[in-house]
Structure 1
Amino acid sequence: MRHKTFAVLPIVALLAACSMAPTYQRPALPVPAGIGAEATGSATLPAWQEWFADPALKDLIAAALENNRDLAVATARIEEARALYGITRADRLPTVGIGGGMQAARTPEAITGGDAATSRRYDANIGITSFELDFWGRVKSLSDAARAQYFATEEAQRAVRVTLIGDVANAYWNLRAFEERADYAKKTVDSLSASARVVNRRLETGLSNRLDALQADALVAESRASQANLERQARNARHALQVLVGKEVVIPPAATALTSTLPNTRVPDGLSSDVLLARPDVRQAEYALQATNANIGAARAAFFPTITLTGSAGSASAELSDLFGGGTRAWSFAPQITLPIFDFGRNQANLDLAEARKVIAVAQYEKTVQVAFQEVADVLSDQAGQQAYVEALEAAVMKQRDRLKVAQARYDAGLVGYLDVLDAQRALYLSEQNLIDAARARLAVTAEAYKALGGDAQQPLDRS
C-alpha cells in the first residue's frame, strides 16, 4: 500500500493541472491592412552583412555586436529571465530529496523515578515536501507567465541588437558626411583664399575696388568658420560612434564620396501590415500581453482550495548498525488542504489587478503596432522622396558650377562686379553641402528600413 501511494503521486500531479487563464487571442492589428502602395506581401531582409555593403561599416557593426554595453546588458537579461522561468517551471513538479538524521533525548531521574533514560533514533528516507497539487492551474499559470516574460526578454535583446546595427550605420554615415563636408569646406577656403589674393592684387593695381576685396575676404572668413564648425561636428560624430562600437574607432579613408555609395537595396513600395508582427518590439509586447493573460489564471485559481502533499518512506532504527535491517521500514504521508474564507478582499483585488494589467498590456501592444506601422510607412515614403531629393540636388550642383564659371568669366571681362562671383560661390558651396547631407539622409533610409522591418532574424512567434 505504501509503495502504491508514492507511485500514484506523479500521476495525480500530472492529471491535476488545468488552467483558469482566459483563452488567449491576439488583438486585431489597429492599423490598415497595407502599408504604402498596394500591398505586395512581406519583406524578409537579408543578413546585415549583405544589407550593409560598406566593408568599413561591416567591421564597425561586428565590433559593436561584440563590445556594446547596452547589448551586453540585454543579453544578460535573457539569462536572468531564463533562470526565473526555470524556477517557476520547477514548481510544477515535486521536489524529491534524500535525507538522514539522528535524534537523541535524555529524560532525567526526576521524571523517570529511577535512572535517567537516554533514547536515540536514526532515520534514512526519501520523500517530497509540500508539493502542491495544481488542480486549478495556479502554478501552471505562473509558469506560463514566466515563460512568456522570458520570451519577451529575448525579443527585447533582439530589439536592442537590431537598433544597435541601425544606429552604428547611421553614426558611421554621420561621421562620413561631416568629414566630407569639412574636407569640402577646407578646399573651398583654399580656393576662396586664392581668389581673394587675386582680388587684392587687382585692388593694388587699381583694377578692383575696396568693396570687392572686403567681400572676398569676408567670404573666406565665413568659410573658415564653417570649416571649424564642421570639423567640431565630425569629432563629436566620431565620439558618438565610439560609444556605440565600444572601443576606439579606426576608419580607413573613404575611397569614394557618399553620393557614389548610395544603396542599391530597397524595400518593396507596398507591404502587408502582417510584416509588423516580425518586429522584435511588437513580439516583445505580445509576449508581455500573454504573461498578463496567464497571471489572470493564477489570480482566479487563488479563490480555490490549495492541496499540498508531504510524504516520505525509508528506514528508522534505535541503533545506527540496524538502520537498514529487517523490520525498520517507516513511512509518513501528510496531505493538507487550505481554503481561503476571509481574506478581506485580497484575492479579488489581486484578480482586479491582473485584469487591469491585461488592459494596459493590450493598449501597449496596440500602441507598439501603430508606432511600427508609422516607421515602416515613413521608410517607404523616405525611400522614394530622399532619392528624388538627391537627384534634384545633383542637378542643382551642376547648374551652380556652370553659374560660377559664367560669373567668373563676366567678372574677368569687367562686365559685372565681384558680388556676382561671390553670390555664385556661396550658392555652390551651400548646394554641395546640401548634396552631401542629402546623400547621408538617403543612406540613413537603409538603416531605418533595417530597424523598421525588424532586422534579419525573422522567426515564427509561436514557440514550444
Structure 2
Amino acid sequence: MFRLSIISLSFLLAGCLSLDPHYQRPAAPVPAVWPAQGTPPAATTVLADWQHIMTDSRLNAVVAKALTSNRDLQEAIADIEAAKALYGEQRASLFPTVDAELTQTRSRTQDAGVSSSATADGAVSSFEIDLFGRNRSLSTAAKETWLASESTAQNTRLTLIAETSTAWITLAADNSNLKLAQDTQKSAADSLRITQLRQKEGVASGPDVSESMAVYQSARASVASYQTLVAQDINALNLLVGETVPQNLLPGTLEDLSPKAIALVPAGVSSSVLLRRPDVQEAEHNLKSANADIGAARANFFPTLSLTASAGVGSSSLSNLFSHGANVWSFAPSLTLPLFTGGSNTAQLRYAEAEKKGLIAAYEKSIQSAFKDVANALARRATLSEQLDAQQQYVAASQRSYDLARRSYETGAGDYLTVLTDQRSLWSAQVDLIALQQTDFENRITLWQSLGGGVK
C-alpha cells in the first residue's frame, strides 16, 4: 500500500500545473550595430579569451595569480555556493520526506497486567502536493537566483582581469614618467652647470641661471612625485592580485612593451553579443526569478493539498514483528482553501508583478549601458591612432627645436629663454605622448571588457 501511495504521488506531481507567466525575453532597446561600425557583419565574431588578449607573459602571469588569490572573487564564488545550497533546499520541497520508525511500548495495568506492542513503519509527514506549482515556482526562482550569482561572479572575474591589467599598465606608464623626469633632471643639471660656468665667464646672465635652476628643481620634484606614484601603483596591484607580485613580473616602461602586449579584439560584431555579457545575463536571471515569483503568488489563491501517510507492521512483541506482525497503515489527506486573507495574497501578487516590471527596466538599462560602453570605446579607438601619430610627430619636432635652440645658445647666437621654452615644450609633449600610449593600451582593455570578454 505504501509503495502504491508513493507511485500515486509521483503521478500527481507529474500533473502539477504551473502558473508562471510565459517568459519572453524583452527586445534589446539598442541598434543592431555600433555607431562607428557601419553595415552589420554577416556573422558574430568570436572574441578571444583573456589569455589571448593579454599577450605579455608577465601580465598573463599576474592576471592568473589574481584569479587565484583575489579576495573579492573568492567572496563571489562563496556566494555562488550559498545560492546553490538555497536552491537545493527549496527544490527539496518538491519531494516527499520519507521516514522510517521502529517503536516498542511496554505498559502495565491492574486489569490486563503487563502488555507490550511494537510497530515498524515508513511515513510521509505533511507533504504538500504541488497541484498548482507553487513550490515548483519557488524552486525556479531560487534556481534563477543561483544562476544570477554565477553571472555576478563571472562579472567580478571579468572586472578583475580588466582592473589588474589596467593597474599593470598604469605602473608601466608611471615608470615611463619617472624615467622621463629623471632624464629631464639630468639634462637640466647639465644645463645648470653649463649656465653657471658661462655666468662666471661673463657670458650668461643671472636670470639665465635662475631659469635653469627653476627647470632643474621642477624636474627634481617630478622625480620624487613619480617615485611615490610607482610605489603606490605597486601597492594597488598587490591588492588586486591578493599577494605580493614578484619583481620579475612587474613591467618596465611603456616603451619597453610590445605594441601587441595587449591585443586589439575584433570589433566587427553585432550588438546582440551584449546579451552574453555577465552583467546582462545577471539582470535576465533576476528577471526570470521575478517571473517565477509571480507564479508562486498566483498559486496562493488556490487550495493546497497536504498528505500525511504511513504503512508498516505491528506486533505484540518485537521478536515477532517482522515474522507474524500485522499490517498497519494510515492515510490522512488535508485540503486547505483560502477564504479570507485580508488582502495578503493580492498584495503579494501585485508586489511580484511590480518587481518584474522594475527588473524588465533594469535588464533593458543594462543592455543600453553595455552598448554605450562599447560605443564609447569604439569612438575613442577611431581617433586614437591618428592622435598617437600626431603626438609622436610633435615630440620629434619639439626635440629638433630644442636641440637647435641649445646648440644656437651654446655658440652664442641664441638666447637662453628660447632654450628653456623649447625644453618645457618638449617635456610636456613627451608626458602627453606617454599618456596617449597608456590610453591606447587601456582602450584595448576597455573594449575587450565591454564586449563581454571571451565570448564563446
* Superposition TM-score, scaled by structure 1 size: 0.93
Select 1:390's aligned residue among 361, 365, 388: 388
Aligned to 1:98: 100
1:343 alignment partner, SS class: coil
Aligned to 2:157: 161
Q: CA deviation at 1:12?
A: 1.9
Select 2:54's aligned residue among 30, 52, 55: 52
Q: What RMSD in Å do the two structures reach over aligned CA positions? A: 1.8
* CA distance in 1 between partners of 2:5 and 2:114 (Å): 35
Could you list the per-position Cα deviations for residues 101-138 of structure 1 after superposition, in whole angstroms to 9, with x for gaps in the alignment? Answer: 2344555xxxxxx5585544322111222221111110
Select 1:69's aligned residue among 71, 89, 93: 71
* CA distance in 1 between partners of 2:189 and 2:137 (Å): 76
1:283-432, aligned counterparts within 5 Å? 283-432=281-430
* CA distance in 2 between partners of 1:425 and 1:355 (Å): 67
* CA distance in 2 between partners of 1:104 and 1:327 (Å): 16
Q: Is the Cα contact below 8 Å between 2:137 and 2:295 reproduced in 1? A: yes
Aligned to 1:228: 224
Could you list the per-position Cα deviations for residues 179-227 of structure 1 after superposition, in whole angstroms to 9, with x for gaps in the alignment? Answer: 1111110111011101100000000110110000000001000111111
Aligned to 1:433: 431
1:2-21, aligned counterparts within 5 Å? 4-15=4-15, 17-21=16-20
Name the amino acid aligned to 2:177: R
Name the amino acid aligned to 1:66: T
Q: Is the Cα contact below 8 Å between 2:172 and 2:253 reproduced in 1? A: no
Q: Is the Cα contact below 8 Å between 1:34 and 1:270 reproduced in 2? A: no
Q: Which runs of 5+ in 1 are unaligned?
A: 108-113, 459-464
Name the amino acid aligned to 1:189: Q
Matched, 1:261 2:263: no
Select 1:141's aligned residue among 137, 148, 164: 137
Q: Is the Cα contact below 8 Å between 1:21 and 1:294 reproduced in 2? A: yes
Could you list the per-position Cα deviations for residues 159-178 of structure 1 after superposition, in whole angstroms to 9, with x for gaps in the alignment? Answer: 00011001100000001111
* CA distance in 2 between partners of 1:274 and 1:8 (Å): 47
Q: CA deviation at 1:141?
A: 0.5
Matched, 1:215 2:211: yes
Q: CA deviation at 1:43?
A: 3.6
1:22 alignment partner, SS class: coil
Q: CA deviation at 1:302?
A: 0.6
1:32 alignment partner, SS class: coil
1:399 alignment partner, SS class: helix
| More displaced 10-residue stretch of structure 1: 42-51 or 195-204 | 42-51
Could you list the per-position Cα deviations for residues 28-64 of structure 1 after superposition, in whole angstroms to 9, with x for gaps in the alignment? Answer: 1111121132222434221211111111101100100
Name the amino acid aligned to 1:14: A
Moved over 4 A (4+): 104-107, 114-119, 253-256
Q: CA deviation at 1:269?
A: 4.8
Q: CA deviation at 1:4?
A: 3.5
Aligned to 2:197: 201
Q: Which runs of 5+ in 2 are unaligned?
A: none
Q: CA deviation at 1:94?
A: 1.5
Q: Is the Cα contact below 8 Å between 1:396 and 1:431 reproduced in 2? A: yes
- Cα gap change, 1:63/1:225 in structure 2, threshold over 3 Å: closer, same or farther? same
Q: CA deviation at 1:9?
A: 2.1
- Cα gap change, 1:426/1:144 in structure 2, threshold over 3 Å: closer, same or farther? same
Could you list the per-position Cα deviations for residues 393-451 of structure 1 after superposition, in whole angstroms to 9, with x for gaps in the alignment? Answer: 11111001101111112212322210110111111111111111111110001211221
- Aligned pair count reads 451
Aligned to 1:111: none
Q: Is the Cα contact below 8 Å between 2:168 and 2:251 reproduced in 1? A: no
Name the amino acid aligned to 1:309: L
2:94 alignment partner, SS class: coil
Q: CA deviation at 1:258?
A: 3.5
2:269 alignment partner, SS class: strand
* CA distance in 2 between partners of 1:415 and 1:156 (Å): 68
* CA distance in 1 between partners of 2:170 and 2:295 (Å): 50
* CA distance in 2 between partners of 1:346 and 1:31 (Å): 39
Name the amino acid aligned to 1:130: S
* CA distance in 2 between partners of 1:200 and 1:31 (Å): 66
Aligned to 1:245: 241
* Superposition TM-score, scaled by structure 2 size: 0.95
| More displaced 10-residue stretch of structure 1: 413-422 or 6-15 | 6-15
* CA distance in 1 between partners of 2:3 and 2:435 (Å): 80
| More displaced 10-residue stretch of structure 1: 266-275 or 330-339 | 266-275
Identity %: 37
